[in-house]
């Protein structure tokens, strides 16, 4: 006991605490600065190759405000942070977009291809991977170019979210109950569309080929994607 008291005097304990705090906060500040410096950009707009605007930066930022006004992380989550109620919206959006895009890809006829249904599905998944992973962000203009098929898939998912957040019919009202949405958190169509822009804009803000597909694969059930 005497040895312990001699080794760990009050002064030395304070020194250990101070060094530990300094070391810990130095790491936090360093990592925080790196996160700030390498934060993914918010695109100025999502456009189709023909110039049709899908979403603008204003839509995404306003959608973020709408999401925060509905309770934010208390009503689902983003970027895989996890939530007790409602889904993670990043994963849910990518699930639905990938599924809708795969359906559109499958509807195209592959002329001259002799293959079984499973083989065709695998071919469609290759196309899906290419479309979902392709980085079309132009750092000079801030524009993201979206393929026509993917733009259609985005609009399909947008309609789902508009229905969900406006409670437009019985199916969506039941889903709102499952997600434990507050009774009076219904949005109008414009707010729901902007919220969709925020959710769809999230994948575009991520590292182009990394986190996007990490979220897609477990959420879609397309395990061999």
The per-residue pLDDT for range 88-107, each reduced to its tens digit, is: 888 889 889 999 999 988 88
How far is 206 from 215, CA to CA, in rounded Å? 11
Tell me which residue range forms the domain holding 101.
41-220
Structural domain count of the chain:
2
Task: From 147, 129, 130, select the one nearest 225 (Cα to Cα).
Answer: 129
Co-location of 100 and 21 in the same domain: no
How far is 187 from 69, CA to CA, in rounded Å? 10
Domain for residue 225, yes or no?
A: no
Q: Which residues make beta-bridge pairs with 143? A: 45, 138
Co-location of 127 and 203 in the same domain: yes
Is the separation of the CB atoms in 142 and 45 below 8 Å?
A: yes
Summarize pLDDT for 3-23 with one digit per residue, the tens.
766 677 788 889 889 999 999
User: Is residue 212 helix, strand or coil?
Assistant: helix
Can you give the pLDDT at residue 208? 41
C-alpha torsion sign, points 84, 65, 168, 163: negative
How far is 195 from 27, CA to CA, in rounded Å? 35
Estimate the share of the chain in helix, then strand, then coil, as percent rounded to the nearest 5: 65, 5, 30
Co-location of 47 and 126 in the same domain: yes
Co-location of 32 and 87 in the same domain: no
Co-location of 65 and 111 in the same domain: yes
Domain for residue 22, yes or no?
A: yes
Co-location of 85 and 137 in the same domain: yes
Co-location of 95 and 171 in the same domain: yes
Summarize pLDDT for 129-171 with one digit per residue, the tens.
888 888 888 889 989 999 899 999 999 999 999 999 998 889 9
What confidence tier does 109 reach under pLDDT thresholds 50, 70, 90? low
pTM for the whole thing?
Answer: 0.73
Do β-strands 45-47 and 53-56 pair in parallel, antiparallel, or remain unpaired? antiparallel
Co-location of 73 and 157 in the same domain: yes
Co-location of 2 and 106 in the same domain: no
Co-location of 54 and 101 in the same domain: yes
Do β-strands 137-138 and 143-145 pair in parallel, antiparallel, or remain unpaired? antiparallel
Task: From 181, 163, 134, select the one nearest 155 (Cα to Cα).
Answer: 163
């Amino acid at each position: 006991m005497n040895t312990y008291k001699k080794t760990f005097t009050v002064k030395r304990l304070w020194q250990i605490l101070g060094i530990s705090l300094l070391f810990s906060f130095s790491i936090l500040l360093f990592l925080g600065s790196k996160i700030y410096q390498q934060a993914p950009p918010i695109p100025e707009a999502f456009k189709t190759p023909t110039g049709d605007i899908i979403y603008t930066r204003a839509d995404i930022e306003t959608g973020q405000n709408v999401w925060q006004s509905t309770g934010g992380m208390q009503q689902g989550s983003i970027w895989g942070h996890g939530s007790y109620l409602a889904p993670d919206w990043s994963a849910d959006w990518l699930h639905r977009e990938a599924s809708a895009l795969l359906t559109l890809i499958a509807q195209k006829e592959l002329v001259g291809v002799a293959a079984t249904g499973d083989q065709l599905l695998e071919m469609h998944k290759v196309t899906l991977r290419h479309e979902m992973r392709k980085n079309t962000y132009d750092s000079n203009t801030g524009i993201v170019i979206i393929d026509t098929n993917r733009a259609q898939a985005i609009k399909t998912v947008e309609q789902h979210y508009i229905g969900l957040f406006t409670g437009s019919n019985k199916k969506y009202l039941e889903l709102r109950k499952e997600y434990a949405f507050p009774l009076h958190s219904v949005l109008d169509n414009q707010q729901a569309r902007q919220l969709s822009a925020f959710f769809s804009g999230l994948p575009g803000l991520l590292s182009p080929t990394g986190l996007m597909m990490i979220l897609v694969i477990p959420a879609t059930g397309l395990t061999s994607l």
